Amino acid sequence: MPFYPVRTTTGREIDVALIIERRAKSSRLDVRSVVVPPRLKGFVLVEAPAPYVVLEVIRGIRDVRGGPGRRMEVDEVVKLIRPTPVIELIDVGDIVELVAGPFKGMKARVEFKDPSKNEVVLNILEAAYPLQITVPVDYVKPVKR
């Protein structure tokens, strides 16, 4: 079943999704699901058989700014929901900040990354001498390239 994006006021996505859910249940409309994608601000995705069902359920909601938009298939929605692994965001030579472990808060340069082990080798920038450490990729946050 297709999804239809509904534009909302930024920051009010969850409120709109809850109102849509309540209306769909009370009016017995064929709305299968309502999704609030974390990386897509100002939009709610409504799964329904046709756009007229979405129009009926969003009619009169104050924080709705537009919709339904173009038809979206499930694979497009999965791309919006699935988080991007940190290992894909980091490249060799990038500056990162350690967010866990004994070197927490220090900045380091990525010397090597091993996607199979989900680890990175870092050179601590704030050390007095060259200090390389190997940490899990979950311990780092990208700062700049």
Q: pLDDT category, 145, cuts 50, 70, 90?
A: low
For domain 86-144, give the fold. Answer: SH3 type barrels. (2.30.30)
- For 98, the enclosing helix (H) or strand (E) is strand 95-98
Condensed to tens digits (0 to 9), the pLDDT of residues 8-63 reads 999 889 999 999 999 999 989 889 999 998 888 889 999 999 889 999 999 888 98
From the candidate CATH numbers 3.30.70.940, 3.50.30.50, 3.40.1520.20, 2.70.70.10, the one assigned to the domain spanning 3-81: 3.30.70.940
Distance separating alpha carbons of residues 103 and 139, to the nearest angstrom = 10
Q: Report domain extents, the chain.
A: 3-81, 86-144
Condensed to tens digits (0 to 9), the pLDDT of residues 80-89 reads 888 777 788 8
Distance separating alpha carbons of residues 16 and 9, to the nearest angstrom = 9
What pTM did the predictor assign?
Answer: 0.64
Amino acid 22 reads: R
pLDDT at 83: 76
Condensed to tens digits (0 to 9), the pLDDT of residues 119-136 reads 999 999 988 888 899 999
